[in-house]
Chain A
Amino acid sequence: MSAAEEVEVVTEGQAVEAVPKRAMTLGYGTSLIVLAVLILIPLFVKNFIIFQMTMLLIYALAVMALNILTGGSGQFSLGQSAFYAVGAYTSAILMEHAGMNYALTLPVAGIVCFGFGFLFGQPALRLSGVYLALATFALATAMPQLLKLGYFEHWTGGVQGLVVTKPDAPFGLPMGQDMWLYYFTLAVSIGIYLASVNLLRSRSGRAFMAIRDNEIAASAMGVDVALYKTLAFGVSAGITGVAGGLGAIAVQFVAPDGYTIQLAISLFLGMVVGGVGWLPGSIVGSAFIIFVPNIAEGISKGLSGAVFGVLLFLVIFLVPHGARQVAIVAQQLAAKLKKN
C-alpha cells in the first residue's frame, strides 16, 4: 500500500467515525428539515415543478434501490431500467386492463419485481464485478424489445405502449391531481426509505455488507452468501418496481422506449453522484440526473451533452464520494464552528 493510499484510508476512517451510528443515514434533525422542505415546496410552485418533484422522488427511490444493491451488498447493476420497466408495466396493465386501484398496483409491482430480481440473481451469482455489470447490461438492452413482442401486444400495447389515467385526490381533498400524486409519492417514498434504513441496520443488512466486504469471512460466520446476494437483488428490483409503477402513474404513459439502457445508466450515475452506500444521497443523485441535463441545455442548446459531460466530470473530480462527501465536510465544518 502506498503512503497516499494509507492516508486516504485513515481520513476516510475518521470521516466515518464522525457519524458512527448513522453512517448510512441522516440524523433526526436533518431528516426533519429535509422532510419539511419536501412537504412545503409544492404549496408555492407551479404544477410543472410539482410534477418534476414527483419525478425527483421516483428516481430517488430507484437510485436508492441500486444503492442498496451496490452500496449494501457490493453487486453492480446496469439493468435497473429493466426492473423499472417491469414495475411500470405491471402497474399500467393492472390499472388499464384489470381496473385495479392505482395504489394497490404498487405492492403488486413491487412483489412481481422482487420475484424477477430474485430469479435474475440466481444466475448472476456466478458473476461478480464487471461481469455482473455486463450481464445486467444485457438485461437492460433486451427489455425494450421484449416489451414490444407481438405475443404480449394485447397486454402491453406493443410499440404504442399504454396510456394510464392519472388519479384524482381522494376524499374530496382540495388539491389538483399533480399535487395529490406528489404527496402520495412522498408518503410511499418515506415508507420505503424508512424500511430500507431498518433493513440495512438489521441482521439482513449486516449480512449484505459483510458479503460486500469479504465473502469468505461472511460465509464462515454463517451467512448464506448465495441467499443474501439474491435477496439483495430481489429487494433492489422490488423497490425499483414500485418506483416504476409510480413513474407510470405520474407520466400517464408507458412505452418500451421509455426504459432503455440510458435510464439504467442515469440511475447508476445518480448513485455515484449521491454517494455509493449513503441512502440520503439518493435524492441528490436523482436531482442531478433530472435537473443537470436541463441546466446544461440552458447553457448551450447545441452542446448540451458536452456541457453535461463537463459538469459530471467536475463533480467526480471535486467530490469523488458524491453528496456523502459534501455532507461529511459540512458536518465537520459545523462541529468546528460550534467549538469556536
Chain B
Amino acid sequence: MTQAQLAQGNDPLLAVRDVSVVFGGIIALNGVSFDMRHGQILGLIGPNGAGKTTLFNCLSRLYQPSSGDILMEGKSILSRPPHRIAEIGIGRTFQNVALFPNLSVIDNVRVGAHARTSSDIVSDSLRLAWVRRGESDMNKKVHGILNYLDLEDVAHTVVSGLPFGTQKRVELARALAADPKILLLDEPAGGLNHEEVYVLGDLIRKIRDDRKITVLLVEHHMGLVMSIADHVVALNFGRKLAEGTPAQVQADPDVIKAYLGSKDQ
C-alpha cells in the first residue's frame, strides 16, 4: 500500500509545528516540525536524548512546549489538559507498560473506554437503566477488542500476573477501546525478544489496516521501524535530522553519523 493510497485528502491528521521545549537552560526540542497523514505509520527515531520522549510527552500533554503548536485535524491541542486528549482521538501506550496492575484485563480495557462513555456517581450507584444500557454496549465493544487481540482467555485475570508480552497487548487493547484516530506508541518493542518484536510489528500494521488508525511509533529498535513505518522522522539533540521513507532516512549521512556516534559511548 503506498502512501498516496493511504492519505485521505491533503490535510494532515496531526501537525507538529515548530515545537520547542526548554527545561531550564537545556533545549530538549528545537523547532521540530512534521506532519502525520491519515493511515500512516510514522516512525520517530533518534539516539538516546534526541528528544523523542519529550516530543511524545508534548503530544500526550504531559509537557507544555515553550513555543510552537500541535494541531489535531487543524485544531490546537495545547490548551487541553492531559485527560481531555483521549476524547479527540489520541490514544497512547507507555514505555514500560503502565496498566492498572490490580484490575483484570477486561477492567483495564473498560477504563480505556472511559472517554467514550458517560455517567455520574448517582446514576452509577443506582445502576439506572441508561447506565446498564451503556455498560452492555461498552462490554460488547470491549469483548470485540479482546477477541481481536486474542485476549479473551485471560479476560478475567489480574494483569500484574501476566507475561510482559501479553501486558503489551492489553495496553494496546486499552488504547483501542477509546476509538483513537491516532495511536502513540512509546517504544513498544522495549523488553521484547527478537521474535516477539516482529509479531508486534505485524500486529501494529494489522491494527492500522483493519481500523484505519494512524500510528506514531517512537522506537529504538531500527529493525521494527524500518520494516513497518511508511515515513520516518529522525531526531538528534532536539532537532530534526532527516525525514522521508525508511530507505531515504537509512541512507542519510547525518543519520548514520548520529547513530555511529552514539555507538562510541
On A, residues with C-beta under 8 Å from B are: 9-10, 12-14, 16-17, 20-21, 23, 195-196, 198-199, 202-207, 209-210, 212-214, 216-225, 231, 235
CB distance from A291 to the nearest CB of B (A): 30
Q: Say whether B100 contacts A217, CB under 8 Å.
A: yes
How far apart are A318's CB and chain B's nearest CB, in angstroms?
A: 23
Q: Is B102 a contact partner of A213 (Cβ separation < 8 A)? A: yes
In the complex, the answer to whether B124 meets A204 with C-beta atoms within 8 Å is yes
Of the stretches B14-22, B32-40, B91-99, B188-196, the one at the interface is: B91-99
Inter-subunit contact A222/B87 (CB<8 Å): yes
- Find out whether the CB atom of B60 lies under 8 angstroms from the CB atom of A207: no
A-B contact pairs, 21 of them (CB 8 A): A13-B161, A20-B104, A203-B117, A203-B124, A207-B114, A210-B103, A212-B102, A213-B100, A214-B98, A216-B82, A218-B100, A220-B82, A220-B85, A221-B111, A221-B114, A222-B83, A222-B85, A222-B87, A222-B114, A223-B111, A223-B114
What residues of A have a CB within 8 angstroms of the CB of B114 in the complex? Answer: 203, 206-207, 210, 221-223
Knowing A198-B124, A198-B126, say if A222 contacts B86 (CB, 8 Å): yes
Chain B positions within 8 Å of A, measured between CB atoms, are 60, 62, 82-87, 91-92, 94, 98-104, 107, 110-112, 114-115, 117-121, 124-127, 131, 134-135, 156-158, 160-161, 174, 178
Task: Please give, as numbers and ranges, the residues of chain B lying within 8 Å of A222 by CB-CB distance.
Answer: 83-87, 114-115, 178
Looking across the interface, which residue of chain A has its beta carbon closest to that of B154? Answer: A17
In the bound complex, do residue A195 and residue B125 qualify as a contact, i.e. CB atoms below 8 Å apart? yes
Q: Please report the C-alpha to C-alpha distance between residue A14 and residue B162 in the assembled complex, in whole angstroms.
A: 11
Q: Is the CB of B99 within 8 A of A199?
A: no
Q: Which residues of A contact B160 (CB under 8 A)?
A: 9, 13
- CB pair A221–B86 under 8 Å, yes or no, is yes
Residue of A with least CB distance to B171: A217
- What is the minimal beta-carbon distance from B175 to any residue of chain A, in angstroms? 8
Question: Given A221-B112, A225-B83: A198 and B125 within 8 A (CB)?
Answer: yes
Considering only CB atoms, which chain B residue lies closest to A218 in the complex?
Answer: B111
Closest to B98 in A: A217
A216 CB to nearest B CB, Å: 6
The smallest beta-carbon distance between A313 and chain B, in angstroms, is 27
A231 with B121: CB separation less than 8 A: yes
Closest 6 CB pairs of A and B: A222-B115, A13-B161, A222-B86, A202-B124, A213-B100, A20-B156
Contacts of B117 in A (CB 8 A): 203
Alpha-carbon distance A16/B101, docked complex (angstroms): 12
Query: Interface centre among A23, A202, A204, A225, by most B CB within 10 Å?
Result: A202
Kindly report which residue of chain A lies nearest to residue B92, judged by CB atoms.
Answer: A220
| Docked pose: A222 CA to B101 CA in angstroms | 18
- On chain B, the residues within 8 Å of A219 by CB distance are 82-83
B121: chain A residues at CB < 8 Å are 199, 204, 231, 235
- Check B86–A205 contact: CB distance below 8 A: no
Contact B60 A220 (CB under 8 A): yes
With a cutoff of 8 Å between Cβ atoms, the chain B residues found around residue A202 in the complex are: 119, 124-125, 127, 131, 135
Residues of B contacting A210 with CB < 8 Å? 100, 103, 111, 114
CA distance A218 to B103 in the complex (A): 12
A203 and B119 contact, CB distance less than 8 A: yes
Q: Contact partner of B157 among A13, A206, A212, A213, CB < 8 A?
A: A13
Instruction: Verify B124–A205 contact, CB threshold 8 A.
Output: yes
Residue in A closest to B86 when the chains form the complex, CB atoms: A222
CB distance from B179 to the nearest CB of A (A): 11
The reply to whether B119 and A17 contact each other, CB–CB distance below 8 Å, is no
Complex interface: chain A residues within 8 A of B100 (CB):
209-210, 212-214, 217-218
Nearest CB on A from B164, distance (A):
13
Please tell me if the beta carbons of B101 and A213 are within 8 angstroms of each other in the complex: yes
Given contacts A212-B102, A221-B112, 11 further A-B contacts (CB under 8 A): A13-B158, A17-B161, A198-B127, A202-B124, A206-B103, A214-B99, A216-B94, A216-B98, A217-B100, A221-B86, A221-B115
